[in-house]
A and B are shown apart, each in its own frame.
Chain A
Amino acid sequence: AQRVTQPEKLLSVFKGAPVELKCNYSYSGSPELFWYVQYSRQRLQLLLRHISRESIKGFTADLNKGETSFHLKKPFAQEEDSAMYYCALSGGSNYKLTFGKGTLLTVNP
Chain B
Amino acid sequence: NAGVMQNPRHLVRRRGQEARLRCSPMKGHSHVYWYRQLPEEGLKFMVYLQKENIIDESGMPKERFSAEFPKEGPSILRIQQVVRGDSAAYFCASSPGAGSPGYNEQFFGPGTRLTVL
- The judgment on whether A and B are partners is yes
Contact digits for B1-13, partner A, Cβ 8 Å, 1 yes 0 no: 0011000000000
Report chain A residues within 8 Å CB of B58.
96
Q: Pick the contact of A101: B35, B41, B59, B110 (CB < 8 A).
A: B41
Interface residues of B toward A: which range?
20 to 34
Identify which of residues 35-79 in chain A touch chain B, using a CB-to-CB cut-off of 8 Å: 36, 43-46, 49
Report chain B residues within 8 Å CB of A95.
31, 33, 48, 56, 95, 104, 106
Chain B residue at smallest Cβ distance from A5: B42
CB distance from B60 to the nearest CB of A (A): 12
Bound Cα distance from A46 to B50, whole angstroms: 21
Identify which of residues 16-41 in chain B touch chain A, using a CB-to-CB cut-off of 8 Å: 31, 33, 35, 40-41
Report chain A residues within 8 Å CB of B44.
99
Interface size for A (C-beta < 8 A) is 22
Contact digits for B91-117, partner A, Cβ 8 Å, 1 yes 0 no: 100010000000011111111000000
Bound Cα distance from A99 to B46, whole angstroms: 12
Interchain CB contact under 8 A, A43 and B95: no
Interchain CB contact under 8 A, B42 and A45: no
CB distance from B18 to the nearest CB of A (A): 26
Interchain CB contact under 8 A, B43 and A99: yes
Q: Pick the contact of B42: A32, A43, A49, A101 (CB < 8 A).
A: A101
Chain B residue at smallest Cβ distance from A6: B42
Report chain A residues within 8 Å CB of B33.
95-97
Q: Does B45 contact A (CB under 8 A)?
A: yes
CB distance from B67 to the nearest CB of A (A): 14
CB distance from B53 to the nearest CB of A (A): 13
Interchain CB contact under 8 A, A45 and B108: yes
CB distance from A1 to the nearest CB of B (A): 12
Bound Cα distance from A32 to B105, whole angstroms: 11
CB distance from A22 to the nearest CB of B (A): 14
Given contacts A95-B31, A96-B56, contact A101 B104 (CB under 8 A): no
Q: Contacts A96-B59, A97-B35, A99-B44 given; 4 further ones with Cβ under 8 A?
A: A44-B91, A45-B107, A93-B56, A96-B33
